Structure 1
Amino acid sequence: MVVSCGTCYDQLAGYEFDKIFPGCRIIDIHEFLLEKGMKLDGVTGTRYMYHDPCHTPIKTMDPVKLVNALMGSEKDGYKIEKNDRCCGESGTLAVTRPDISTQVRFRKEEEIRKGAAKLRGIPLVAEAGANAINPANASAGTAGAANGSVLKAGDGPQPKGATDVKILTSCPSCLQGLSRYNEDAGIEADYIVVEMARHVLGEDWMVDYVQRANNGGIERVLV
């Protein structure tokens, strides 16, 4: 069972699915991708930092090592570092206690600004040659099924209006909280797997997926 939320992971872990479906296991989507060898071979023109959720779904390895492996940052001559402090969202905290959340937000914004300034000071590495796998030829089916596929972001369709610094996370609540800093801190927040999908499958990857799902696709909901 593949999940993309730490809260969901911990809740589902208590259901003991392995007793219902022998051999069943729960794994975060990002760990699953790395396990299958799906990763980028660097990203040209964009620097990343990582916000580690308080309630992380990544259980089997260090999250910072994981995001570096998935994004291929070493190819760009730097390492993605953890950006400290809580994002201030904390589920419904921003709604129920905006006074506390706002104070947390100020401190997080300072950390984001410092992290972004550090990343912008790192010289960009010249774009690699065109001898890597071309993600423009990848599809949702082939990309997901391939093992050991190192994909060169930049060879395929590029995200529109890409910013030079982004902060990645693996938590839906944190993503909502981090998005509040986009304008004030001059960065853009996103999910790791969504950023990968944009570079591998193109900016319209979600629209294409929905069309395929509606055109003969199958969705099963376990209740």
Structure 2
Amino acid sequence: MDSMGHLKQRNLVTARERLRDQVANALRAALISGELRPGEVYSAPGLAADFGISATPVREAMLDMAREGLVEPVRNKGFRVTEVNERDLDQYTEIRLLIEVPTVRGLVGTAAREELEALRPVAVEIVEAARAHDLIGYLEADRRFHLTLLGLAGNERLVETVGDLRKRSRLYGLTGLDERGELLPSAEEHLELLDLMLAGDADGSEACMTRHLGKIRSLWAAEATVPDQRHA
């Protein structure tokens, strides 16, 4: 094959991978927002029809999600959305507390002021998304804030680990939290955390981060006790 043929083939592969990633992100968002329900089985052709694309990138995206533990293959049927139980949520939160709280404390006084200030527009975006009931926008901004903040510590594996934990927990119950007006106070804690870090308050920053993650877990627990009217 000539060099032009190699180029065309590489461009085709890149475009296909990009489509697969776009589909995977859209499916993760649907899963987080509750459009894809835990325990339900979804077929690649059925989801592909919703997207208006072929089934191949959807199937590839679902296999990527299966490797992350978000879904599991069901022979001759499709993929079942993994159910997250209370024990899972407790363990994910415990690991995030062990990682994120000391990391945030360590960044106080070591992270450059301009690096922290660069996160303020993202923190504002989180609050605005919560106020507008834009759950997908909230999740994307929340993810960028937390992972970018942790990235200031310079440990890429740490960021990957927390990113994976976030995917697995999926911020369970987000729709219910928004409906009960409990999402905005959690969103505003991102601005509080930034202000504490910029003030050089290590103890305050540690306490804020601990409270923030603990609140998310308590909200999950509250969500688990609310009857699901959609199946009533």
What TM-score do you get using the length of structure 1 for normalisation?
A: 0.25
Greater Rg by CA: 2
What TM-score do you get using the length of structure 2 for normalisation?
A: 0.24
Which is richer in strand?
A: 1
Which is richer in helix?
A: 2
Looking at both structures, which has the greater relative contact order when contacts are Cα pairs under 8 Å and sequence separation is at least 6? 1
